[in-house]
Amino acid sequence: MKAVAYSIKPCEKELLIKANRKRHDITLISNRLTLATASYAEGKDAVLVCSCDDVSAPILHKLKEYGVKYISTRSTGTDHIDLVEAAHLGIKVGNIPVYSAESTAEHAIALILALYRNIIPAHQKMLEHNFALDDLVGSTIRSKTIGIVGFGQTGQALAQILRGFGARLLVCDITDVSEKVAALGAEQVELKRLFKESDIISFHVPLTGQTRHMVNAETIRQMKDGVVLINVSRGAVFNSADVFAALQDEKISKIGMDVYEFEQNVFFFDHSRYPIEDQLLKAFIQHSRVLLTPHQAFLTAEALGVIAEKTIKNLNLWNSDKCVGPACCCVEACAVEPSKIAV
């Protein structure tokens, strides 16, 4: 099978080459998939993309013209792909349904600990040779109530970690996961109760019609004063303007984000020589009570290895005229609405 892989990072290249074992003719390019770069897919059977690529309807039509039959995204989320249009065009879509839940869960923990123990301001003081303890008083996770929104693989991995910290855990999920939750000493509750009682809320949901702007001015009012929010899922789960306003009012005390609502064309790229035009993003970056990382929660050697292997597995199955099974994101094959496809 002939394929072109877009948005390839140096840390992925050798892993994909190794996983491929020369079975497929894959062109690896660092270019992001856009209308301007879609022509690289001409004559290819498949394209391999990531979450920063644009796989909207106009680009899907171009890919179809160039003969592309398959799209495999090197991510769990598929919100960057117009699945309905892909199905209409007869292009099969696959993802990486599970790769390393621990990677993302551990990053959430890193954000929580850094915020709760004031690691960033402490480091800044050290750089200035200021060893005073002023303004560095933190809090323990033990005995705090932590809400986990979304109890897929990542939410479960986070719950397992937090169990060791002695936190009280509340879980909200659209399905009945009460048995799994109970086994971890947690409790499944409605979202309003989770918002009301949680000191820290961590989000682990796909971006769907139901989860877009799940955190907004109205839902923030339901939360505890001084709540800490963690988002390692998708940026648009937060209404960014509402969240920043609540941060300014100190309704939200601190925020840890690995994603940002308007990160497209910004995250994954070096802008050190070019000014960031998004004023809200700049405000988040510069805020002393915000810890923002550039969509790196997945970025571990273990996760990258699994992603490479499963990406090639998708190509192997398609090359044998087989469905990719759990990795199938084709709307018709999933027999569910695109908004229900799990991450």
Active site residues: 234, 263, 295
CA 314 to mean position of chain CA atoms:
21
Q: How far apart are CA 196 and CA 222, in angstroms?
A: 6
Q: How far apart are CA 207 and CA 214, in angstroms?
A: 10
CB-based contacts of 42, cutoff 8 Å, min separation 6: 66, 67
Q: How far apart are CA 167 and CA 146, in angstroms?
A: 7
Q: How far apart are CA 49 and CA 259, in angstroms?
A: 18
